[in-house]
Chains A and B, each alone.
Chain A
Amino acid sequence: MQNDNEVLIRVEDLKVHFPIYRGVIRRQVGAVKAVDGVSFSVKKGETVGLVGESGCGKTTTGRAIIKLYEPTAGKVFFKDTELTSLNNEEMRHMRKDMQMIFQDPYASLNPRMTLRDIVGEPLLAFGLASGKEIDERVAELLKMVRLSPDFMLRYPHEFSGGQRQRIGIARSIAMNPSFVICDEPISALDVSIQAQIINLFEDLQRDLNLTYLFIAHDLSMVRHISDRVAVMYLGIIAEMADRNEIYNNPLHPYTKALLSAIPVADPVYYETRKRIVLEGDVPSPANPPSGCRFRTRCPIADAHCAEERPEFREITSGHFVACFKA
């Protein structure tokens, strides 16, 4: 699949700002710059991991791509279509081909609908099947996510978190999409269930030739599943590279700190590891620092970092970094 270099999704300078209203007459006084200039592309058949801590804008990026949030600026190309200029009905049709899996398996299924209705809903929405056909397709989809078709007439609350996430996955692949955004799909699950779901993702990718944008905060899982990884910090991408490259040769100080903070399930590892512990907290996206976003916590920042915003540039082939020192 690496040979196929066709770009499926291209995001160009995407910005999503949420206005803040304050004061006596509820004037807009500013904006939460949740996503503030993000560019990347996803090739057909690959998995791109998007990692970052809470509030870094990774979920917002995912939702803006599929237009659950209206982007403030920037462009998103899916195949040859520019998405931000589409109207609702046009976008609705695009969703046959691009799908999303949500974080919370308890909240993402309508409690009043049966599995058949939930999984079959996309088919119904596009008028592609009816009656018996839906039943057959739903049974097939349930088997694909390793759930028994006998569950078809049951309701979501009869299932555990892992099973519900499978239901959500079945729904997302119902229309045979080529692109699926996985928004922290395993972070609400127990450790022993996470591996099941990750394996399922891999199986489905192989069988259905899917392309994933895999959003998560768990770096080790992201590395495991992704071909390329983008690290987000405070609304921007700090670094993006091939999975091994970014882990073996991190260039951005934030990536380095993040990597050293990963808890590794090996006590021996800690005897030798030198940790980089970052000081302080992530600043508020409503009032981000000038220049480089990371400079307030960066161990190597200098005056220049406060003045100018570092460009997101390609250092070596396919390895992008937004840092002056790299």
Chain B
Amino acid sequence: MANELLNVQGLETRFKTPEGLIHAVNGVSFHLKEGETLGVVGESGCGKSVSMLSVLKLVPMPPGEIVAGTAEFKGKDLLKMTNEEIRQVRGGQIAMVFQDPMTSLNPVMTIGKQLEEPLMLHLGLTKAQVRSRSIELLEQVGIPRAAERLKDYPHQYSGGMRQRVMIAMALSCNPQILIADEPTTALDVTIQAQIVELVIKLREQLGMAIVWITHDLGVVASIAHRVAVMYGGFIIEEANVKDLYKSPSHPYTIGLLGSLPQIQAQTRQRLYSIDGMPPVLYKKPQACPFAPRCKWVLERCWHENPRLEPVGEGHRVACWADTKSGSER
């Protein structure tokens, strides 16, 4: 496809820990089109953050290790790039925003200094240009008195403001892709709404593609065009956002959606819950990782790991069972 920006195939990443090898990502494939927002959803430890960090080779190595896969960005494999080449991509063409705005900014460096680094590095602006661009950026993300606040240190900003700075920093070089790694998880609901609103506004202005990683199905529904659900280091379902919420097809997705209370419901309904717990991936799953918790589980699920197969227009599911009928696909 011509307008395909990023194409990741068969990505595998694992970590060495004192307890043994953790297989965090076990073969993740997805693509991202220009201007599109992809939501990546999953519970803690499902490998969603690690996959995205792997794409930019930001996984700490050691203990991390990218074992297999390709990640083609505009036709070039990011994973095969030299450190120097991928450095040019980071911050310039693909930028990231992290989960905890409290720890993601350098505490002993002014906001202004941290903002200007990518500008000078990737755009090669002069001092004066850098300054006016910094002020412009801060204003763009809604920070009042931007010129004065450049001199401030991160601890003088509130959590929401810091996340705005992080976004400003990420967008400073007009990246084609913004990877947002749970950017609102550490924030309060009203601040989260501010940030989501801001990103939607900036997306319209700048037209970048976004990968939005989160565990919150609600936030994804408000911002994503397409959603990938992850479990046990795999993508287990992927669909257009409306299709996914209207007709979830993987038992895990069904369970996740069912376990959320309905905000409109006037009477109390019992929540649907998934039994058991997410797996700890000391072994690379050879069968479906969700089988032990699945209510549709079939004999086949215990031996063979299903691959993502299309079930509808742009809707792919990795499951042996047809959740509509309960029988094998």
B-binding residues in A (CB < 8 A): 53-54, 160, 162-163, 190-196, 198-199, 202, 217, 219-221, 223-224, 244, 247-248, 257-258, 260-270, 275, 277-278, 281-282
Contact = CB atoms under 8 A, between A and B. Distances in A.
Given A191-B260, A199-B271, A261 B278 contact: no
In the A-B complex, the 10 residue pairs with the smallest Cβ-Cβ separation, listed nearest first, are A263-B218, A195-B259, A224-B261, A261-B193, A53-B188, A195-B273, A190-B43, A265-B217, A195-B271, A192-B274
B221 interface: yes
A222 to B, nearest CB: 9
Given A53-B189, A191-B43, A281-B191, A264 B277 contact: no
Given A192-B43, A265-B217, A217 B273 contact: no
B199 interface: no
Contacts of A269: 221
Contacts of B219: 263
B161 A281 contact: yes
Nearest to A265: B217
Q: Is the interface of A mostly helix, strand, loop or mixed?
A: helix
B271 A191 contact: no
Contact of A198 (B44, B222, B271, B275): B271
Given A223-B261, A247-B263, A262 B189 contact: yes
A112 to B, nearest CB: 20
Contacts of B190: 53, 257-258, 261, 277-278
Contacts of B252: 192
Given A217-B189, A265-B218, A162 B277 contact: yes
A192 B263 contact: no
A263 B271 contact: no
A127 to B, nearest CB: 36
Contact of A199 (B194, B245, B255, B270): B270
A264 B188 contact: no
A258 B277 contact: no
A281 B221 contact: no
B30 interface: no
8 contacts: A195-B272, A224-B261, A263-B219, A263-B221, A264-B221, A265-B260, A267-B242, A277-B194
B44 to A, nearest CB: 6
Contact of A268 (B197, B217, B242, B273): B242
A261 B192 contact: yes
B10 to A, nearest CB: 26
B215 interface: yes
A275 B261 contact: no
Contacts of B272: 195
A282 B161 CA distance: 12
A198 B257 CA distance: 15
Most buried by A among B190, B218, B220: B190
B325 interface: no
Nearest to A196: B273
Nearest to A259: B263
Nearest to B160: A281
Interface in B153-209: 158-161, 188-194, 196-197
A213 B215 CA distance: 26
Contact of A163 (B160, B191, B196, B277): B277
A56 to B, nearest CB: 9
Contact of B216 (A163, A196, A257, A263): A263
B145 interface: no
Most buried by A among B216, B219, B242, B261: B261
Contacts of B196: 263
Nearest to B43: A190
A290 to B, nearest CB: 21
Most buried by A among B197, B221, B242: B221
A220 B261 contact: yes
A262 B160 contact: no
A265 B245 contact: yes
Interface in B247-280: 252, 255-261, 263, 266, 268, 270-275, 277-278
Given A191-B43, A193-B277, A196-B273, A260 B261 contact: no
B193 A224 contact: no
Contacts of B79: none
B138 interface: no
B273 A264 contact: no
Nearest to B244: A267
Contacts of B220: 265
